[in-house]
Amino acid sequence: MKFSFIGQIQFRFLIILGLFLTSCGNQSEKSSAEKSDSTIKKPTIQHKLIERTVDNCNTQSDTCTYASVKYPVFSGSDRDKELNKFIFDSILNVNDTSELRSSLDSFLIQWRKTYEMMDEAMPWVKESAFMASFEDSLLHIEQSHYLYSGGAHGNYGEFHSYFSWPELRHLSWKNFIDESENELIAKLKTNHAKAMKSKSYNDLIDKGYIFDDSLYVHNNFVIGKDSISFLYNPYEIAPYSEGIVKIKAERTNK
């Protein structure tokens, strides 16, 4: 089929117009989908406590041996079943509450075996808490653990994880800081030395506040408005006496 010169121009114009309208339609659909994702109803979060004790002792007593775990339960949205399964599969690493109870009971059974071999056994304690919260478009899971099974002191730690909402994609520090790992480590050393009012990071090592050249970057961090605090639990990079070491870095991807 042949067109006149004017007809060819009109034909090309119609093709371009069609492509433009299709592109606009796709953009509109994409924007609509993005809006739909961002406005997905967030569920209500409640935290359930499971506690197991020896001889029904009072957990507030210094002589009580017990184990407990607190974990989030989601309700009030279309994603509840998926989210609750996600918590058990990916965070608690058990199939259901019966397995959770069994793991607590195993701790008490081990204490009884130890008690039978000794004239007097110190009480043991195992506490775990998994707290969930929504922070803008992020799901934040904060884990805290405490374990005492004899000795001079118990061991404890914090672990934080962030997931995109509603995709539930695990986010790393690289999602918030646009620097290489070596560049970030250098800044963390400088920032920690300043926070400790020390001349340098090496000075902290010399004084025994930090283990020799042990600093590394990992995905245990807490997000602030303009910064990220990397957390290092006792013995990770410093002695137990230093507690949980928190080192801040500036957020470059917000």
> Are 204 and 196 a contacting pair, CB within 8 Å?
yes
Taking residues 1-7, report their average pLDDT. Answer: 45
Query: Alpha-carbon distance 71 to 92, whole Å?
Result: 8
pLDDT at residue 20 in the model: 42
CA distances from 25 to 18, 21, 133, 164, 171 (A): 10, 6, 36, 27, 31
Q: Mean pLDDT across the chain, nearest whole number?
A: 87
> Are 232 and 238 a contacting pair, CB within 8 Å?
yes
Taking residues 155-175, report their average pLDDT. Answer: 96
CA distances from 26 to 82, 192, 242 (A): 29, 48, 55
pLDDT at residue 1 in the model: 47
> Are 161 and 170 a contacting pair, CB within 8 Å?
yes
CATH code 3.30.565.40 for 44-171? yes
pLDDT at residue 21 in the model: 43
pLDDT at residue 40 in the model: 77
Model confidence, pTM: 0.82
pLDDT reading at 224 higher than 70 = yes
CATH homologous superfamily of 173-250 equals Heat-shock cognate protein, ATPase (3.90.640.20)
pLDDT at residue 254 in the model: 67
Residues β-bridged to residue 221: 230
Which position has the token pair 């707290």? 131
pLDDT at residue 35 in the model: 41
pLDDT reading at 159 higher than 70 = yes
Query: Alpha-carbon distance 129 to 111, whole Å?
Result: 21
Query: Alpha-carbon distance 224 to 251, whole Å?
Result: 8
Q: Where are the domains of the chain?
A: 44-171, 173-250
170: three-class secondary structure by DSSP: strand
